[in-house]
Structure 1
């Protein structure tokens, strides 16, 4: 294969990686969202609740960057979770200008019940890869993401 053909082949392969990755993500997200809807939450609410459940109290202003939602939507999502009595707001002990979202007893109870089921569903959804393949995919996607970020 000459240089020109090799370059064209690699460009086409790059496009194919993007298409295959996008379709795989779409399929996985659809299945995960179906699983989450069964819990009575939307995916964004679940992501925020899961973050606080797993990582502890979070400054409301910082939640958006951790769960990949627009900061303008955070207050709305926190309000909805607060209405459902799954989280509470509390002032930061160090800085009164910062408000933390903290999980309530009801939120802990709900997550203790549903999170193991969610993890099992994720295992099933991503069961198309074995352990080694999952480790390789994680490594390769991180490499790909960092490269794209540094462009």
Structure 2
């Protein structure tokens, strides 16, 4: 086994991930929200009404932290809470019309930014990259 090549792979992977993450963060913050708020809005924008727990599972965040983010987005008028009629213990989070308009405006720009980053890869390279990243991710479980 070539430990040196594994270490080099790790360093290159982490540097690339950090670079992409920083570019994405700058893009998102240019719209007046932070990356966590964006992730919550994106889930609601694409998946519709969700419980706080469901959102947390999708973006890998604890419910305690989620409450803070939900409060911030609610104060901005981008989302609202609704009681669940079938379970009084559960609260649904719903994107508002203002939130939908906001995402209608910024999501295509964000999507274009991601295309700029990954546009240097061919379709085949993207497929290989996805497969390799899944393979790495599954090996760490």
TM-score range for the pair, normalised by the shorter chain length: over 0.9
What do residues 27-63 of structure 1 show as CA deviations (whole Å, max 9, x unaligned)?
A: 0000001110111110100010011101111110222
The residue number in structure 1 matching 2:22 is 30
Q: TM-score, normalised by structure 2?
A: 0.94
Distance in structure 2 (CA, Å) of the matches to 1:70 and 1:128? 35
- Contact preservation (8 Å) 1:87, 1:104: yes
What is the aligned length? Answer: 141
Q: TM-score, normalised by structure 1?
A: 0.88
Q: How does 1:34-73 map to 2 (within 5 A)?
A: 34-73=26-65
What do residues 42-89 of structure 1 show as CA deviations (whole Å, max 9, x unaligned)?
A: 010001001110111111022222112343210000000000000000
The alignment status of 1:88 with 2:80, answered yes or no, reads yes
Q: Which runs of 5+ in 1 are unaligned?
A: 1-6
The alignment status of 1:108 with 2:100, answered yes or no, reads yes
Distance in structure 1 (CA, Å) of the matches to 2:6 and 2:60? 25
Q: Which runs of 5+ in 2 are unaligned?
A: none
- Contact preservation (8 Å) 1:52, 1:103: yes
Q: Any runs of at least 4 consecutive aligned residues in structure 1 with deviations exceeding 3 A, and if so which? A: none
Distance in structure 2 (CA, Å) of the matches to 1:71 and 1:15? 35
RMSD: 1.2
The residue number in structure 1 matching 2:6 is 14
Report the CA distance between 1:93 and its aligned residue.
Answer: 2.9
Of structures 1 and 2, the larger Rg is shown by 1
Distance in structure 2 (CA, Å) of the matches to 1:82 and 1:111? 15
- Contact preservation (8 Å) 2:84, 2:90: yes
